């Protein structure tokens, strides 16, 4: 991936999109671990990126390449920082095909639900995604069943509590 006059020497290291994706992925993990105490990453983090890129893409990538790319990436992505995206949550719900996992996942408590919820009527249709929908439905059904059981336990506990506190007639 290097460019130069002689074999084995390079003037520039060329970053491909998959390399950049791995670069960002690893540095995000390192930042979450606390390996970015200030404006720069620890040497361990930079070395981890260089080793991962070298191993996965069969190229020679060293810490200097990663540090240089980090500098240019700042300039490249700076226009997007601190910019709001109108209707981001709505677009994410409409466009996303799969649920997020890990640190990007949200629970029902994180999502603003309107009070004017309406019941929906299930529609059966045959298409290529039927198996995925059945699996998704069964997971949702299990979750609803679990929540229902928990609510039942809470209701029973409240009934027992009020029965104990109510004077017998």
Residue 159 lies in a domain: yes
Residue 112 lies in a domain: no
67 and 130 within one domain: no
Give every residue of the chain whose pLDDT is below 70, as ranges.
Answer: 1-11, 95-139, 165-169
Per-residue confidence (pLDDT) for residue 48, from 0 to 100: 95
144 and 75 within one domain: no
Q: pTM to 2 decimals?
A: 0.45
Residue 43 lies in a domain: yes
Residue 146 lies in a domain: yes
- Number of structural domains (the chain) is 2
14 and 74 within one domain: yes
Tell me how far apart the alpha carbons of residues 32 and 36 are, in angstroms, rounded to a whole number. 8
Per-residue confidence (pLDDT) for residue 142, from 0 to 100: 75
Per-residue confidence (pLDDT) for residue 125, from 0 to 100: 57
Residue 94 lies in a domain: no
CA-based nearest residue to 19, from 72, 64, 69, 68: 69
Structural domain harbouring 167: 125-169
Residue 113 lies in a domain: no
130 and 66 within one domain: no
Residue 108 lies in a domain: no
């Amino acid at each position: 991936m290097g460019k130069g006059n002689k074999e084995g020497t390079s003037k520039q290291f060329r970053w491909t999109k998959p390399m950049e994706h791995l670069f960002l992925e690893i540095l995000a993990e390192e930042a979450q671990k606390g390996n970015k105490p200030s404006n720069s990453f620890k040497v361990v983090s930079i070395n981890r990126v260089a080793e991962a890129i070298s191993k996965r893409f069969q190229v020679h990538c060293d810490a200097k390449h990663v540090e240089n790319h980090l500098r240019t990436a700042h300039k490249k992505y700076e226009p997007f920082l601190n910019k709001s995206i109108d209707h981001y949550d709505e677009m994410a719900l409409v466009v996303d095909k799969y649920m997020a996992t890990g640190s990007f996942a949200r629970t029902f408590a994180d999502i603003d639900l309107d009070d004017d919820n309406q019941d929906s009527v299930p529609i059966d249709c045959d298409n290529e995604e039927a198996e995925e929908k059945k699996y998704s439905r069964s997971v949702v059904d299990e979750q609803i069943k679990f929540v229902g059981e928990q609510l039942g336990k809470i209701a029973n506990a409240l009934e027992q509590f009020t029965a104990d506190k109510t004077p017998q007639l």
